[in-house]
Amino acid sequence: MPYVTTADVVHTLHLDAGETEANPENRFTMDWLDTVNNLLDEVPTSTPGALVITGAGKFFSNGLDVDYIGANADKLPEYLDRVHALYVRVLTFPLPTVAAINGHAFGAGAMLALCADHRIMRTERGFWSLPEVLLGMPFTVGMSSLLRTRLSEPTAIEAMSTGRRYGALDAEAAGIVEQTAAIDDLLAAASEVAAGRAAVAGPTLEVIKQGLRAPLLADLKRPTPASLIG
């Protein structure tokens, strides 16, 4: 299950403990969503402070819980609302946030990485990808708004309409991530960026994020209709 570690002013949210866990792909199960939100409640938001978000093993996050969706189709809108709420939480978190993308970030997991203020992706293996078009899954209004806002238009069009898998160097060139690093240096690089921004943590930063991202946040807070895109 997810957990948090702290070193000096940097808090690290580990999305899971690795491949031996019950949810090794860090999918957005209901229990996982509960745990992540509870952990974010416990992260001190005083100044100075910063938050790194990372996974373990092969995955940063493989996104939505397809087993839950398959067994609870009638609850899909409510489930997606919970996913959107996590995005809002990270987008407006009162600490600077850095995503350390340690492995595959697909679909909803790729979008979670975009919610951080800064992204660093490992170079050796792992892809950032939006495979929804290949799976016959439309993006919600909130997800489309997130992708349009956080990516350049050419990159959003390519990523959303082709399902391309971006390795670290391609992701950096496309503006999906700001940095790349070898896996052995990934957390250190993310912590260095986070610590360098820690002095701005606090309620003012949260208000600035809310104002900066107001239209996006409004889209993410819209209840998901049964059609998903209505």
Active site residues: 132
**How far is CA 84 from each of CA 7, 76, 79, 142, 175, rounded to the nearest angstrom?**
29, 12, 9, 7, 23
Nearest to 39 by CA among 7, 5, 69: 5
Which H helix or E strand runs over 202?
Answer: none
Pairing of strands 50-54, 97-101: parallel
Q: Give the separation between CA 100 and CA 148, rounded to whole angstroms.
A: 22
Tokens read off for 60: 């940063």
Q: Residue 46: what are its φ and ψ, rounded to 5°?
A: -80, 165
Query: How many secondary structure helices (H) and strands (E) does the chain include?
Result: 11, 10
Q: Classify 97 as helix, strand or coil.
A: strand
Angle at 12 between CA 43 and CA 68, to 5 degrees: 85
